[in-house]
Amino acid sequence: MDIFLKDLGLVPDGEKVQTSLIQKGIDLCASSGGGTVYMPSGLFISGTLYMRSDVFLHLESNTTLKASPDYADYNAADAWVQNAACEPEHTTGGHFIVFLEVKHSGLTGHGTIDGNGMSFPYRRNVPDFRAVHKDLSIKRPSQMVYLCESEDIRIKDVRLFNSAYWSCLVHGCENVIISGLRIKNNPEIPNSDGIDIDSSRHVIVSDCLIDTEDDCITFRCAKRRLKNQDAILEDVTVTNCQLRTPGCNAFRIGVGNGIIRNCLVSNVIIRGSSKGVCLEARYAFNTDEEPGTAIENISFNNIFMESRCGIYMGSYCMGASSCIAPPVRNISFSNVTAKCRVNFVIQSNYGATVEDIVLQNFNVELSGTPKIAFSRGYHEWEHATGRGAFLIAGAKNVSMRDIVVRIPDEKYVTEAVVLSDEDGEIFMDNVKGYKGGVKLPLSTAFTAEEIENGKVRRP
């Protein structure tokens, strides 16, 4: 049965918190066999709302559902077993819209879900943000739209604005379609990700415009709190999206412990990101007891990117480790046009596996003048990265075909590709680099002099 919240007395006064009335409509719809709950035009304030199975919440184009600024209007961190606060990132564990173990449910319409993020004190434009960051008593709500171990969920056409933290988390779910979203977060809000897909299967993201302070789209396998400890991240498609993040990654692939596999990304425009694609088996926060994620069968096709670093792919992001990271393998990029400031990187720590990598049909323009890019992220190889447009170090079976790199005269780069290929094979076909119109050589290995002088670190 469809429910019209106006008939239940919902009024768009923009001040009164009307959580109970909106929840009443959702519950009434569910108890009547399911249907659609329609919100009338106007501005409505609410705390945590729980979606139910077989219920869709519909927001018209001139409807805004805004999160309450009062912490008391949100769920507690221990409200369900999968939930928790994140102290390092100053979150309470409270959410705005929750899909908890539900089936056949969703959000539709062209209305706006406003996280009211600037109402909470954890933001960069407050005086002395460094002190605020150290004070773990300063909190903000957690993920705005939170899907947890749910199935057959559809989120279509709504606007997600001003989230206080991540905009949308898909955690341990199956059969999820997210389409037509416009996500826009205030750059003063730290960690305001776009769409985080975690330990989930059969997910499609399409036709979205995402503009965030942090990662736009992530593939993760952080399943520690899920009931289903066998969950992995697999069978995910992202297509026809435009992404912008001034301070982080358009795509982050990694984080957690488990498996990330069988993902296709196509027809994507990336602008203004720190890294276009950051793929790391073992993230900085992992410990030796939590080795990271195996990443395999990931494909990117038809990508335009303007970013500081175009592609950073590695086994571990913070130097040598006593715990070997899981393998990264069968990763392909094709039809890529990139305008970047610093090197492209494919590297493996000693003992780890990064293999079967394909780069095909690249048109790359490097600009800017940093001498060494991302020095903290190059592990054993960090000091030898300054001279190659592509750094390939410790990786096996890398294929590069039909690649053109153009570099200004003043750029530090002196070779198109710098390789270290002790164990595997590098295949290059029609790979060319030009600096000021003059063709660059290819470098097939680090020199003995570089190694002797410590420009390549050994563990």
C-alpha distances out from residue 253 to 13, 15, 292, 331, 419, Å: 42, 40, 11, 12, 24
Where residue 106 sits, what CATH number does that domain have? Answer: 2.160.20.10
Which residues are CB-neighbours of 41 under 8 A, at least 6 positions away? 12, 60, 62, 63
Assigned domain for 309 exists = yes
Does 284 share its domain with 143? no
Does 366 share its domain with 231? no
Does 228 share its domain with 275? no
Does 402 share its domain with 292? yes
Does 139 share its domain with 167? yes
The fraction of the chain above a pLDDT of 90, given in percent, is 67
Does 418 share its domain with 328? yes
Mean pLDDT rounded to a whole number for the chain: 88
Does 223 share its domain with 310? no
Assigned domain for 109 exists = yes
* Measured distance CA(383)–CA(450) in Å, rounded: 9
* Measured distance CA(31)–CA(339) in Å, rounded: 54
Does 226 share its domain with 286? no
Does 216 share its domain with 331? no
Does 224 share its domain with 120? yes
Assigned domain for 256 exists = no
Stronger pLDDT, 386 or 222, i.e. the higher one: 222
- Looking at residue 457, its amino acid is R
Measuring CA to CA, which residue among 203, 201, 198 is closest to residue 223?
Answer: 198
Domain count, the chain: 2
- For residue 330, what are the domain limits? 265-459
C-alpha distances out from residue 297 to 6, 243, 358, 399, 403, Å: 49, 22, 11, 15, 22
Encoded tokens for 152: 């057959």
Quote the pLDDT of residue 320.
62
Structure confidence by residue, pLDDT tens digits, 94-139? 999 999 999 999 999 999 999 999 999 998 888 888 888 888 899 9
* Measured distance CA(457)–CA(394) in Å, rounded: 13
Which residues are CB-neighbours of 438 under 8 A, at least 6 positions away? none
Structure confidence by residue, pLDDT tens digits, 182-209? 999 999 999 999 999 999 999 999 999 9
Does 234 share its domain with 297? no
Structure confidence by residue, pLDDT tens digits, 265-323? 999 999 989 899 999 998 766 566 678 999 999 999 999 999 988 999 988 866 666 67
